[in-house]
Structure 1
């Protein structure tokens, strides 16, 4: 019997990482929570586009117009708000619903599951940017046909697209880190939405810290501001962004991955 088991172990082939990634991508959408999050993002985007189309008429009378960059920027709002929640659910749902027992039985090497979840989250971030580009283009065509110049401009700086991609990715990684750290959906969601903003607010309320611009190096919301504009951030602004996100992504995700690799599956 011992010889038989050894032969089976030696001939067993590992599950390809590409298959694990496909499974994790499916988990993003085939649960009830994932489906309604995606549906909500689509519905909110459509509502926002309709509101923009209605209000653009008044802006045109004042000499202003709406272009592709405006539609793209506003379309990133619902996805940037809800996609990190999807990343949180991707990590925590297995632990709260005992799916981790099945997952780690099929693939005992937990680090490969973590990598698959990370890659799936990054793919979702890029898909969100592509969705914003498509919906923004549709809105821009409609507004250009309905109202004419100065609406419908296709001017779109590379800095705006680059900033959107970076912010989507960092937002997902931030949610992923808190999810891995707590392995609990409510705790991870509260931590994601409350902790960075609360600490950033405290840093702004303390005069000594505010005067020395400590918040620029720690607050993710403050450091992300320059990436939301159409111009490239300065060297100092890039430094603020990298340091703040290294703190809020690096620490939770490192401790969280260690916890996933070491925690007992119940």
Structure 2
């Protein structure tokens, strides 16, 4: 638990992180008000959007900062088991995602005057999933600029290809996370929609994290 708290503090206790959190908080409050929808699902989807788009940058930096700022040697000297450190970072990122989701859903509840528990749970899952996705890209690349760029460019490129190339459309319906997460903005998600979301999450979240853990535990520290 102490290691998780340390990693959580390291993630948010920088000037850049504080500015990003402030911007996300401001946009989270403004989005449902500007969107104008008073039903909880619409307000929650609007409030959650800044969280899912911008906050994963912190998940990327939670990993890559160790290498880009050259603090990995100190970190791994104090805790030689790199997997333990990486899992603590993942737990810290999860806590941050859940806290941000709670804030966004609270704003939506105030705007809408009520809460749809099912939709709230689904959107919290989306927020955590996007944080894990950013974390996975950070683990794979271990460089801040490249990982942040890849996190945004690669999924967007795949989504565009899936919509523009007819031959890729069947695969994109299952493996485009930006598309499969869409139904979770509302109640009544079907079993097929859950299966598509799980398949895309396996590609964009589980696989990068697993491969990244292998790389991070073997990467040379300079």
TM-score of the superposed pair, with normalisation by structure 2: 0.93
Is the contact between residue 29 and residue 104 of structure 2 (CA under 8 Å) also seen in structure 1? no
Describe the superposition over 1:60-93 as per-residue Cα deviations: whole angstroms up to 9, x where unpaired: xxxxx61444333211111111211010011111
Describe the superposition over 1:29-65 as per-residue Cα deviations: whole angstroms up to 9, x where unpaired: 211111111111122233335535xxx5xxxxxxxx6
Distance in 2 between residues matched to 1:85 and 1:182, nearest whole Å: 14
In structure 2, runs of 5+ residues without a counterpart are none
Q: 1:77 aligns with which of 49, 69, 73?
A: 49
- Give the corresponding residue for 1:87: 59
Specify the structure having the higher radius of gyration (Cα).
1
Moved more, 128-137 or 74-83: 128-137
- Give the corresponding residue for 2:76: 104
Distance in 2 between residues matched to 1:214 and 1:200, nearest whole Å: 10
User: 1:129 aligns to what SS in structure 2?
Assistant: helix
Matched, 1:190 2:144: no
- Give the corresponding residue for 1:37: 20
Distance in 1 between residues matched to 2:209 and 2:71, nearest whole Å: 21
In structure 1, runs of 5+ residues without a counterpart are 1-17, 57-64, 141-151
Distance in 1 between residues matched to 2:106 and 2:198, nearest whole Å: 29
Q: 1:118 aligns with which of 85, 90, 99?
A: 90
Distance in 1 between residues matched to 2:162 and 2:174, nearest whole Å: 10
Distance in 2 between residues matched to 1:226 and 1:67, nearest whole Å: 16
Give the superposition deviation at 1:187: 1.0
Distance in 1 between residues matched to 2:180 and 2:32, nearest whole Å: 28
Alignment of 1:231-250 (within 5 A): 231-250=187-206
Give the superposition deviation at 1:153: 4.2
